[in-house]
Amino acid sequence: MLKLYYHPSPNPLKIALYLEETGTPYELIGVDTRKGEQHSAAFKTINPNGKTPAMTDGDIRIFDSNAILIYLAEKIGQFVPENTPENKAEMYSWLMFIATGIGPYCGQAVHFKHFAPEPKEYAVNRYDFEAWRHWLIIEERLTNQLYMMGDQYTIVDMSLWGWARVIPFILGADAWEKLPNVKRWLDSINARPAAQRAEALKAQFQFKTEMDEEARKVLFPGNARLAS
């Protein structure tokens, strides 16, 4: 059986959404990142990068959320566009756009806005600007179509959904005023029973929520160099 190593943050949730949409049996294994469980030797045998999500399929390990989505889509064969060179090129391009743009810039925007020590004006400006730039590209993409690949709901939408859910935390409470097409698209996915089941998975665990000094040490280990 598939085993999904999970924390209720954007990247693991996109995998949970795919599994719930396809009705694929899987075992959910919680990894409490604010307690540092992602740095354990056992977990690093699955993902040497020490991040969630990760997955095993028998003796096969897969890590990085979009790699997992592609693996599952090829294995299960659902929620992918018609297998043409044009569709594959478009799908892979947007998946990489999310992996190299949306995820990293949104993650850094959140870090510097909400968790980094002062001074941080330059960093906040840089990552907020880039996060907005990437989301405005998505906004334009969704202006005249229902989903990222047109009229078909695919793994590209699932990948993006993980981050779109937390746009107000990333960009500000008024972000939806500038992203009406993204909001319409997000609402349509949130209404799906599978999305609601994926969101509800966190109730199975008691993950640490406090961002205390110990959590900061395990989430931002590079800060230790500042004290040396």
d(CA 207, CA 33): 8
The mean per-residue pLDDT over the stretch 26-39 comes to 98
Q: Decide: residue 77, CB within 10 A, 0-12 exposed, 13-18 middle, 19+ buried.
A: exposed
Above pLDDT 70, what percent of the chain? 100
Judge if pTM exceeds 0.85: yes
Q: What is the pLDDT of residue 228?
A: 63
Domains and CATH numbers, the chain: 2-78+198-227 (3.40.30.10), 85-191 (1.20.1050.10)
The mean per-residue pLDDT over the stretch 75-103 comes to 97
The average confidence (pLDDT) of the chain is 97
* Per-residue model confidence as pLDDT tens digits over 194-226: 999 999 999 999 999 999 999 999 999 999 888
User: pLDDT tier at 86 (50, 70, 90 boundaries)?
Assistant: very high
Q: Decide: residue 102, CB within 10 A, 0-12 exposed, 13-18 middle, 19+ buried.
A: buried
Beta strands in the chain (DSSP E): 2-6, 26-30, 54-57, 60-63
Q: What is the pLDDT of residue 142?
A: 98
Which two structure tokens, joined as six digits, stand for 64? 């990085």
- The pLDDT of residue 134 is above 80: yes
* Per-residue model confidence as pLDDT tens digits over 154-177: 999 999 999 999 999 999 999 999
- The pLDDT of residue 46 is above 90: yes
The mean per-residue pLDDT over the stretch 21-34 comes to 98
